[in-house]
Amino acid sequence: MVFEKERREMRINRTFSIPVDLVHDLRKKHNQSETVTRALRKYLEPNQSETLDDAETRTILSELRLRFEPMSAEMELLKTMIAIIS
């Protein structure tokens, strides 16, 4: 079990051919290696369910807006949070 964890934490550089537009999109991400790792794990292990870690902050906040009354304290807090991250 410990060996499996160590193996998952080890890193290796590999070169693969991917479309140029994908490279440009990937460059916009903060941690490209982690983004690729998460995407590959998701592709190779499709039976794993999605988590909140998979969603972007804006998406989560937008979904939460649907759950609160328009003038509620919760809605005002969400509006503030959306303004901060925009």
Q: What is the pLDDT of residues 5-48, one digit of tens each?
A: 666 678 889 899 999 999 999 999 888 988 898 888 888 887 76
What pLDDT score was predicted for residue 17? Answer: 94
Q: Which amino acid is at 30?
A: H
pTM: 0.47
C-beta separation of 55 from 27 below 8 A: no
C-alpha–C-alpha distance, residues 56 and 42, integer Å: 16
